């Protein structure tokens, strides 16, 4: 099943690349039409692989309801930017989650914090980095280059952190307790 999932990802992401390289290497002209990349295919693929691995390791129960499995694979709060959630972490919550005004308020607060990180911190750090990196290297001092590097680093950090906060907040608004990124012992 893992090979099947990776094969689908490989076809969509790399078919054109392989055909182009085979043509260049062998001096032939095989042509295939451009394969449009479905939105979120990497995420869906790795979510499905996570399910297969957790069931194989007996860390999670086989999901007999196709809609519930689809819910896990396409869980929209984390769809674009994470956090990465294993099937065994969320399996029980698919059918038994608590939706309350208190959790909705907590989720809204977390979402707003994440959106603020993205809009006010990441975007402004990105603006600084873009301004510096658009300069000619000859016009840039070492100190200014380091400021650009630092601004870009902070942009990446606050983008990822902000998107993760938004996903955790959205999940909480819908009754899901999505764990913190890279902290398997933390409670969401």
Q: Are 177 and 171 in contact (CB under 8 A)?
A: yes
Q: Are 149 and 58 in contact (CB under 8 A)?
A: no
Q: Are 133 and 151 in contact (CB under 8 A)?
A: no
CA distances from 176 to 26, 96, 164, 172 (A): 52, 9, 14, 5
pLDDT at 182: 60
Q: Model confidence at 186, in pLDDT bands (50, 70, 90)?
A: very low
pLDDT of 68 over the 90 cut? no
pLDDT at 181: 72
What are 77-118's pLDDT values in tens digits?
Answer: 666 556 667 788 788 888 888 899 999 999 999 999 999 999
Rounded-to-integer distance, Cα 166 and Cα 83, Å: 10
pLDDT of 17 over the 90 cut? no
Percent of the chain with pLDDT over 90: 40
How do the domains of the chain map onto residue ranges?
Answer: 2-95, 101-173
Length of the chain, in residues: 188
What are 26-55's pLDDT values in tens digits?
Answer: 999 888 887 788 877 888 888 888 889 989
pLDDT at 89: 79
- The values of phi and psi at residue 72, to 5°, are -60, -50
Rounded-to-integer distance, Cα 127 and Cα 121, Å: 10
Rounded-to-integer distance, Cα 155 and Cα 127, Å: 9
pLDDT of 142 over the 60 cut? yes
């Amino acid at each position: 099943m893992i090979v099947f999932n990776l094969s689908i990802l490989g076809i969509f992401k790399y078919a054109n690349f392989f055909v182009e390289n085979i043509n260049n290497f062998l001096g032939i002209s095989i042509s295939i039409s451009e394969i449009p990349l479905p939105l979120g295919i990497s995420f869906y693929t790795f979510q499905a692989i996570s399910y297969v691995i957790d069931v194989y390791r007996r860390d999670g129960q086989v999901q007999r309801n196709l809609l519930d499995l689809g819910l896990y694979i396409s869980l929209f709060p984390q769809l674009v930017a994470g956090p990465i959630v294993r099937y065994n972490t969320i399996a029980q919550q698919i059918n038994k989650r608590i939706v309350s005004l208190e959790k909705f308020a907590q989720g809204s607060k977390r979402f707003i914090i994440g959106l603020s990180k993205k809009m006010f911190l990441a975007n402004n750090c990105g603006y600084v980095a873009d301004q510096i990196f658009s300069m000619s290297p000859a016009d840039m001092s070492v100190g200014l280059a380091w400021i650009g590097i630092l601004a870009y680093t902070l942009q990446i950090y606050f983008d990822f952190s902000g998107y993760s906060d938004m996903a955790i907040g959205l999940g909480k608004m819908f009754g899901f307790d999505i764990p913190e990124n890279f902290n398997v012992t933390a409670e969401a």
